[in-house]
């Protein structure tokens, strides 16, 4: 079964409204069940609901619009191919998508062997919208790059916990790990960040609450909190 998906447009065009799909008004659990059965319209509605969040997740890794759009596209294509293996109750559908996006982005960065700097010309984020936080990280790029230098499992835990704002239990469900394992990984990741960021100047600037949580965690880990 083939399904063509258009990536979210970061250049000005909005992704299709969920209302444009026949299945759009259905509860998400119903859409997921129908998508598992091979219903392309149901998956298209799920795509429309989650594409912006997935794009922003990819942007945090990739640092530029073109690669983030490509990674978002690949995420949904991979999800469509694997939808039959998704089990509701194991992890929220969005968390499942973000895990796929993270894995693909990490693989892409490994091939590139270089962590990209953020491109210029980023739009401002709304104050409290966790989906827009990646646009406010200009002054935290040193933190972002330190995060992306962590081991892959530590990267994912830090990004899901502090950038996506998930709880320990939600991250555990998304990654298929125990809560204790996630807590230990987070502790070790923050220790790594402390060593990588020791001596770096992390000037306090206003950010969204999710970004501030990451900054606060790093400051505590570096002994500045």
pLDDT of residue 6: 47
Residues 180, 216, single domain; the answer is yes
Residues 38, 108, single domain; the answer is yes
At 14, is the secondary structure helix, strand, or coil?
coil
pLDDT by position in tens, the chain (length 225): 344 454 433 333 334 444 455 556 778 999 999 999 999 999 999 999 999 999 999 998 998 899 999 999 999 999 999 999 998 778 899 999 999 999 999 999 888 666 555 554 444 443 344 334 444 443 467 778 888 999 999 999 999 998 888 999 999 999 999 999 999 999 999 888 888 877 665 555 545 565 566 667 766 665 555
Torsion-angle region of 93 (φ positive above 0: left; ψ -120 to 50: alpha; else: beta): alpha
CA distance 2 to 80: 9
CATH number at 111 reads: 1.10.1740.10
CA angle 51, 114, 9 (to 5 degrees): 20
Residues composing the chain: 225
pLDDT of residue 170: 93
Tally of domains in the chain? 2
CA distance 162 to 100: 18
Residues 219, 129, single domain; the answer is yes
Residues 222, 190, single domain; the answer is yes
CATH number at 130 reads: 1.10.10.10
Chosen domain end from 116, 134, 161: 116
Chosen domain end from 116, 150, 165: 116
Residues 97, 158, single domain; the answer is no
Based on C-alpha coordinates, what's the Rg of the chain? 18
Residues 6+ apart with CB under 8 A from 104: 58, 71, 74, 75, 78
The maximal CA–CA distance of the chain, rounded, in angstroms, is: 55
CA angle 9, 12, 17 (to 5 degrees): 60
Residues 130, 104, single domain; the answer is no
Residues 98, 59, single domain; the answer is yes
Chosen domain end from 116, 144, 172: 116
pLDDT of residue 51: 96
Residues 139, 222, single domain; the answer is yes
Domain of 76 in residue numbering reads as: 17-116
CA distance 73 to 22: 22
């Amino acid at each position: 079964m083939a399904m063509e998906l258009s990536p979210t447009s970061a250049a000005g065009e909005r992704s299709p409204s969920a209302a444009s799909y026949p299945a759009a008004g259905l509860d998400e659990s119903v859409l997921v069940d129908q998508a598992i059965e091979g219903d392309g319209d149901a998956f298209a509605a799920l795509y429309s609901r989650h594409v912006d969040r997935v794009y922003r997740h990819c942007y945090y890794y990739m640092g530029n619009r073109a690669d983030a759009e490509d990674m978002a596209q690949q995420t949904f294509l991979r999800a469509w191919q694997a939808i039959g293996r998704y089990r509701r109750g194991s992890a929220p559908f969005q968390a499942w998508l973000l895990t796929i996006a993270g894995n693909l982005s990490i693989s892409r960065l490994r091939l590139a062997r270089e962590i990209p700097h953020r491109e210029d010309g980023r739009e401002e984020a709304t104050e409290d919208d966790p989906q827009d936080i990646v646009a406010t990280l200009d002054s935290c790029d040193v933190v972002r790059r330190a995060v992306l230098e962590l081991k892959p499992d530590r990267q994912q835990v830090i990004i899901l916990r502090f950038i996506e704002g998930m709880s320990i239990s939600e991250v555990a469900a998304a990654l298929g790990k125990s809560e204790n394992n996630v807590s230990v990984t987070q502790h070790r990741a923050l220790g790594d960040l402390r060593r990588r960021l020791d001596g770096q100047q992390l000037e306090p600037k206003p950010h969204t609450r999710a970004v501030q949580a990451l900054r606060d965690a790093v400051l505590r880990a570096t002994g500045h909190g």
